[in-house]
Amino acid sequence: MQSYRQRFPLPPAGAAGFDYLIVGAGFAGSVMAERLASQAGQRVLVVDRRPHAGGNAWDHYNADGLLVHPYGPHIFHTNSAEVFAYLSQFTRWRPYQHRVLASVDGQLLPMPINLDTINRLYGLQLSSEEVEAFFQQRAEAVPAVRTSEDVVVSRIGRELYNKFFRGYTRKQWDLDPSELDASVTARVPVRCNRDGRYFTDTYQAMPLHGYAALFDRLLAHPNIRLMLNTDYRDIVHCVPWRHMIYTGPIDTFFDQCFGALPYRSLRFEHQTLPLPPGREHLQPCATLNYPNDYAYTRVTEFKHLTGQLHPATAVVYEYPQAQGDPYYPVPRPENTALYRRYEAEAAQLKDVTFIGRLATYKYYNMDQVVAQALSQFKQLQRPGTP
C-alpha cells in the first residue's frame, strides 16, 4: 500500500495553503473545522461534493415554503451535556419529543412497544407488572443472543416480533432479522410503562431555525473556507494542506482495494399535501411506521418536527433500496471484518484522520458524531500529534 503522500504529492513549496483539508461538511467535518479554526487558530479548507453543507442532516425550505429534511427526518437527541452545550453555541432550540405509531392489525399503536401498545392491540387492561409477566410468558429461550431476531423473540416472543419487527427489518435491510447483528433491533426498547416517546434522552430538541442555519454558524469562522460541489480528489493535488480529516466512505478512500463495504440506501419521496380546513397536520404524530404493508417503511410529517405554521403540510415516504447514497452500514460480522482491513490501512496514514459515520462504518446518530469529533479534536491537540 502506497502512503497517501505518494499518491497525492504536495504542490510546490511556497504555494498558499491550509493546515487542514476536511473532506465532508456534515457534522463530523463541520465540528472539526469549527474547533480547529476557533480553538487552535488553524486554516481549514472544507470540501463537500454536495451543493450544501450539513451532510445528511441538511434541511431547506421546499418550493412550497415548507421546511423539510431532504435526506430523511433528523431528530436531535442526546444524553451528553457536553454535546448539547457545544451545539447550543450555534443554535437556539425548539423543545420536541419524537413520537412514532406503528400501523399493525388496522390500528396505529405506540412504538417502541409499551403498555398501551399491548392493551390496545389485544383489548386488555394490563398493569405494568402484568405486562412484564405477559412478555415473560411469550419470551422464547435463546441460548445466545446473537442476531436481531434473537434480541426480540427472547424478550417479547415471536408473535409481537412478527407483527412489529420482522417485516420492517426485512424491508429496511433486505435481510431477515436472523441474518443481522443484534445491534439493529437492540436499539428499540420495550417498555412496561406508558411512556410513548420514541427517545428518552435527557436532551431532546430541534434546532429552532433548522439544521442549515446551525451549519452556517458552525462554518462562519474566518479561518474556514468552504468549497461545495467538489470531490476532494479533484483538488487534493493542487491545494497544499498539512493534515486531512476524511469523513467520506472509508472503502472509496482506498479505491475499494479489498472490496466494497455494503451499505443500505433509501429513496425519499417528498410530497406537499393540502390540509383540511382548521387542521395543522394530517398524521397524529411525526412518524407512522408500516412494518407489514407497502414498499415504504415509514412516513414522516415535517411540521411536527419543525413546529412550522403553514396552510399545507409536507411528508416524506422512505423506500429502502440497495443502490444510491450510502446511508446505513450493514451490521454483519463479515462486513465488520472487511472494515477492520480498511481500518488497519487507515491507521498507517499519519497525515489523515478518519472520523464520522462513513469513515468509521458505524451507525452513529448526530450527537455521537459530534462527540467523536470533539474528542478527536482534543487528541489532535496533544503534543507530538501531526
Ligand X SMILES: Cc1cc2nc3c(=O)[nH]c(=O)nc-3n(C[C@H](O)[C@H](O)[C@H](O)COP(=O)(O)OP(=O)(O)OC[C@H]3O[C@@H](n4cnc5c(N)ncnc54)[C@H](O)[C@@H]3O)c2cc1C
In the list 47, 87, 118, 346, the residue contacting ligand X (rule: CB under 6 A) is 47
**Residue 250 to residues 1, 178, 260, 265, Cα–Cα distance (Å):** 15, 27, 10, 17
Q: Considering the complex, what minimum distance in angstroms separates the CB of residue 17 from ligand X?
A: 18
Backbone angles phi, psi at 205, to 5 degrees: -165, 160
Q: How far is CA 252 from CA 2, 255, 326, 332, 342, in A?
A: 15, 5, 11, 19, 10
Number of H helices, E strands in the chain: 15, 17
Residue nearest ligand X, Cβ-based: 55
Work out which of 18, 55, 112, 160 binds ligand X, going by CB under 6 A: 55
Return the residue of 119, 172, 185, 365 that touches ligand X, per CB under 6 A: 365
Interacting positions 343-362 with ligand X (CB under 6 A): 356-358
Site string for ligand X, 22-41 (x = CB under 6 A): -xxxxxxx------------
330 is a contact residue toward ligand X (CB under 6 A): no
Q: Kindly state the smallest distance separating residue 309's Cβ from ligand X, in Å.
A: 23
Q: Does 56 help bind ligand X (rule: CB under 6 A)? A: yes
The upper half-sphere exposure of residue 315, i.e. CA atoms within 13 Å in the direction of its Cβ, equals 19
Minimum CB–partner distance for residue 276 and ligand X (Å):
28
Beta pairing partners, 269: 317
- The answer to whether 266 contacts ligand X (rule: CB under 6 A) is yes
DSSP reduced 3-state for 321: strand
> What is the pattern of x (binds ligand X, CB under 6 A) and - over residues 61-80?
----------xxxxx-----
**Long-range contacts at 33-38 (CB < 8 A, ≥ 24 apart):** 33/218, 33/219, 33/221, 33/224, 34/90, 34/218, 34/219, 34/221, 34/224, 35/373, 35/374, 35/377, 36/223, 36/377, 36/380, 37/221, 37/222, 37/223, 37/224, 38/221, 38/223
Measured from the CB of residue 3, what is the shortest distance to ligand X in angstroms? Answer: 19
CB of residue 365 vs ligand X: minimum separation in angstroms?
3
DSSP characters over 284-299: SSSEEE-SSSSS--EE
Separation CA 314–CA 362 (nearest Å):
30
What's the closest the beta carbon of residue 153 comes to ligand X, in angstroms?
26
Q: How many residues make contact with ligand X (CB under 6 A)?
A: 33
Interaction pattern, residues 210-249, with ligand X; x per rule: CB under 6 A: ---------------------xx--------------xx-
Q: Which is closer to ligand X, CB of 53 or CB of 118?
A: 53
**Shortest distance in whole angstroms from residue 74 CB to ligand X:** 5
**Residue numbers of the site for ligand X (CB under 6 A)?**
23-29, 47-50, 55-57, 71-75, 231-232, 247-248, 266, 327, 356-358, 364-367, 369
